Amino acid sequence: MKAAVAVEEKLVRVLGDGGRVDQGKDPGLADRDLLTLYRTMLLNRLVDERMFRLQRQGRIAFYIGSAGEEAAIIGAAFALEDRDWVVPCYREFGAAYLRGFPLRDFFCQVFGNADDLIRGRQMPVHIASPRLHLLSVSSPVGTQIPHAVGLAMAARIRKLKEVTLVFFGEGATSEGDFHVSMNFAGVFKAPCVFLCRNNQWAISVPGTKQTAAESIDIKARAYGFEGIRVDGNDVLAVYTTTRKAVEKARSGGGPTLIEAFTYRQGPHSTSDDPRSYRGEEEVEEWKKKDPIARFRQYLEARKLWDEDRDMTLARELNDQILSTLKEVENIGPPPPETAVEDVYAEIPWHLREQREEIIRRAARQRQSWPR
């Protein structure tokens, strides 16, 4: 317990207990921005809850949520400009919502239906949007980190003032991709911000088994740049810290590693049962530090929010979720012939032949269906 208290005392914080703001640390966001942050965090939580229920009902195949980590994700993404890039791990849907990724497109991707922008080729929750500068979600642990550094270096070579923000969990810091990327970024001062969501559990592996270092942020020192440890359940602290790192990267000051110390309230994914490796007491203790409830206290202290508004917003968002689900759930699968499309600018002869054969077989199959 003493160790946990010592860890928390070292964290960068803005929000104190009961909605208080530490003296002189308030970032001074406009009221509309504060409400946007809260709305996005609540939307993220409600979508997660609904998707978990759908998976348990057999209506979708898989889902991976971010309950308890909304502040670390959405607070960081809010520090970016539209021209900047987000390179996600697999929990950063809140960043996508914040950037304008439509809920309908997200649900279509989860179902893998005909309106899925990726045409059902990816497993559920693996979204991407070049238009919104959102790179494809990465399943293999850590492989998105070198991609992010490459993206940042490409922007610098092209003399674009773009910054790349890459998300990953603490488990990824045990991968070679993390260390190679950090070293390269440090040497060449890549305009990249590394955001480690340290939710303390890499599936079933606790942080104490992940590294012998006292924290993740100190790993940046070995590569010649700054590391910062922030309270990942404090959306304003995450925003402020990331904003400074983004400004530094944009001005040529090089990368920053931010460790957002938070907690994964739910299972790793719908395929996981965390009760087999962690106690419910630990989970309940962290739920008392819930980032959404904490931010709501701040808004209430600012007279920007109250219980009636909260209930109204929750109803509005749930209605939006349910109506969008009703619209997309019965959309059929992508046409089978799309399996060979979007690979080449011009489909080569051998894939054209395969495409035609797919179309013929699909037609014969439809004719044999009972009427």
CB 219 within 8 A of CB 280: no
> Which residue type, as a one-letter code, is found at position 348?
P
Query: Rounded to an integer, what distance in angstroms lies between the CA atom of residue 116 and that of residue 127?
Result: 9
Q: Is 90 a known active-site residue?
A: no
**3-state SS class at 30:** coil
Q: Is 277 a known active-site residue?
A: yes
Q: What residues contact 101, with CB distance under 8 A and at least 6 apart?
A: 93, 127, 129, 132, 134
Q: Is 264 a known active-site residue?
A: yes
Q: What residues contact 277, with CB distance under 8 A and at least 6 apart?
A: 201, 204
Query: Rounded to an integer, what distance in angstroms lies between the CA atom of residue 74 and that of residue 78?
Result: 6
Closest Cα partner for 79 from 261, 249, 226, 196?
249
CB 148 within 8 A of CB 168: no
The one catalytic residue among 221, 277, 302, 352: 277
> How is residue 226 annotated by DSSP?
E
In this structure, are strands 256-261 and 192-198 parallel, antiparallel, or unpaired? parallel
The one catalytic residue among 119, 133, 264, 294: 264
Query: Rounded to an integer, what distance in angstroms lies between the CA atom of residue 272 and that of residue 204?
Result: 9
The one catalytic residue among 45, 197, 268, 296: 268
Neighbours of 197 (CB within 10 A): 28
Question: Could you give phi then psi for residue 45, rounded to 5 degrees?
Answer: -65, -45
202, with CB counted inside 10 A (0-12, 13-18, 19+), is: buried
In this structure, are strands 192-198 and 164-169 parallel, antiparallel, or unpaired? parallel
Catalytic residues: 264, 268, 277
